[in-house]
Amino acid sequence: MRFSSCLKNCNTLPHAKFIKELEKNFIPHSAFQKTLLGVGSAVVALFDPYRADMISCMGEVTGGKALNYMRQKMLETNEGAEILRDMPRINSQIVCFKTLSQMPQNTLGRVYADFMVENKITADSRLPVHFIDDPDMAYVIQRYREVHDLVHATLFMKTNMLGEVTIKWIEGIQTKLPMCIGGGIWGAARLKPKHRQLYLKQYLPWAIKTGNDAKFMQGIYFEKRWNQDISDFHREMNITRLTGT
């Protein structure tokens, strides 16, 4: 793809800014190299699920059909279509976490801010897209990365292996991304016996139900819902909180 032609055809500032960022970070590769990247990143991620760079790479090089599916799901709702039009980003330069941390405790914004502090996470830790040259598809996976912590926070799911595997099942069901489906399957094999029992009896059934019943979480404009009561958010999104979390 010639990024200059994309810039010439785009007519909004958010798109222009994202295309320039994409051009700066893009790593050219052949079809054969893409295959190697897919296999290699999957193997490394299997043995080290905390290698964010390998997981990100796998998501980009294996997620073509899933990204198209995700984009279509977003376009089915006004809120999702608005996200694709505005191309909002979630990082510390745009989201004021100090303001969110001062909001009432039951608001979505406060739940998110507290989650980030408790788990020592920064919104600037999400990697840029390197292997997708289509701006629309690249934005979809960038958005997926940047709302991942919001999915954790709003579902009250910890960032330990049990929580990550549970979220991966929900994301896999909703997005069809191979890396999420693989993460749900192979991550479960790494659970300790105590967590494996909880996973099979409570977390997995809840994840499957939530993934199928909840509204498409990638199509939620979280940034416009900071003031929303978390219980109201759950009702609107058809989410039942897992008992004990």
245 lies in a domain? no
Binding-site positions for Zn(2+): 148-149, 152, 164
pLDDT at 18 over 90: no
pLDDT at 69 over 80: yes
Percent of the chain with pLDDT over 90: 70
Q: Where residue 76 falls among pLDDT bands split at 50, 70, 90?
A: very high
- What range does the domain containing 213 cover? 29-237
Percent of the chain with pLDDT over 70: 94
150 lies in a domain? yes
198 lies in a domain? yes
Predicted local distance difference test score (pLDDT) of residue 45: 72
**Which long-range contacts does 210-215 make (Cβ < 8 Å, 24+ apart)?**
210/155, 210/170, 210/239, 210/240, 211/169, 211/170, 211/171, 211/172, 211/173, 211/174, 212/173, 213/238, 213/239, 213/240, 214/170, 214/174, 214/238, 214/239
Q: For residues 189-197, give the mean pLDDT.
A: 91
Binding-site positions: 148-149, 152, 164
19 lies in a domain? no
pLDDT at 10 over 80: no
Q: How many folded domains does the chain comprise?
A: 1
